[in-house]
Structure 1
Amino acid sequence: MAAITTGSAVSFARPAKASSVSSVSFAGLRKDNVAFPLQPATQRFTVLRAAKQETVDQVCNIVKKQLVLAEGTEVTGSSKFTDLGADSLDTVEIVMGLEEAFDISVEESSAQSIATVEDAAELIDKLVAAK
């Protein structure tokens, strides 16, 4: 509680609660809190994937097998495990299958960052190269 003084009287008031905050932006402020006009974005960035195509293909096959997907179900590098119907247990089993197939060991923190086939393939290539 905060003390509020009025003349010689002191009263206590509860701090106000924020009713809802959807977002906060500091984009228009500098360190000295002076606003400046924002410049339009003129650059675009391209993310280069480092995974070998053969690794992506192997991961696709392992994912199809682990999830027992119907014949003809398309699995590509950009396929998300959740979109293919995988839950957290399925994802753990996929990672275990990848560890066995590629003779690698995936740390738990790295396994949690895998969301797509491409993510898995990149991690595999990195771990195989480090051996």
Structure 2
Amino acid sequence: MVYDKVIEIIKEEFDVDEVNENTLLREDLGTDSIGLLELVMAIEEEFDIEIEDANLDDIKTVKDVVDSIEKIKG
């Protein structure tokens, strides 16, 4: 399932234990633009997709990440 894999990646990338669909990437995880790019690269590699840089501003929560993957994968 996409959600479970995204949670796993985020926990690993940000070294956190508690993450849910409402977790804010910047505010709750303290990520900056570089951290977000590293997360996107890990997700792109895992799901064999490409997330357009223009869409990064729309990704604020874990749910946004999952929705973006599901939209790309169809």
RMSD: 1.0
What is residue 100 of structure 1 aligned with on the other side?
A: 45
> Normalising by structure 2, what TM-score?
0.90
Structure 1 residues not aligned, in runs of 5+: 1-53
Tell me how far apart the structure 2 counterparts of residues 105 and 112 of structure 1 sit (CA, whole Å): 15
What is residue 10 of structure 2 aligned with on the other side?
A: 63
Q: What's the CA shift for 1:68?
A: 2.0
What is residue 22 of structure 2 aligned with on the other side?
A: 78
Answer with 1 or 2: which has the greater Rg: 1
Higher strand share: 1
Q: What's the CA shift for 1:112?
A: 2.0
Identity, % of aligned positions: 36
**Partner secondary structure for residue 112 of structure 1:** helix
Which of 120, 126, 129 does residue 65 from structure 2 map onto?
A: 120
Higher helix share: 2
Determine which structure has greater relative contact order: mean sequence separation of CA pairs < 8 Å that are 6+ residues apart, divided by chain length. Answer: 2
> Normalising by structure 1, what TM-score?
0.53
Structure 2 residues not aligned, in runs of 5+: none
Q: What's the CA shift for 1:109?
A: 0.9
Count of aligned pairs between the two proteins: 73
Q: What's the CA shift for 1:84?
A: 1.3
Tell me how far apart the structure 2 counterparts of residues 57 and 112 of structure 1 sit (CA, whole Å): 23
Stretches of 4+ moved more than 6 A in 1?
none
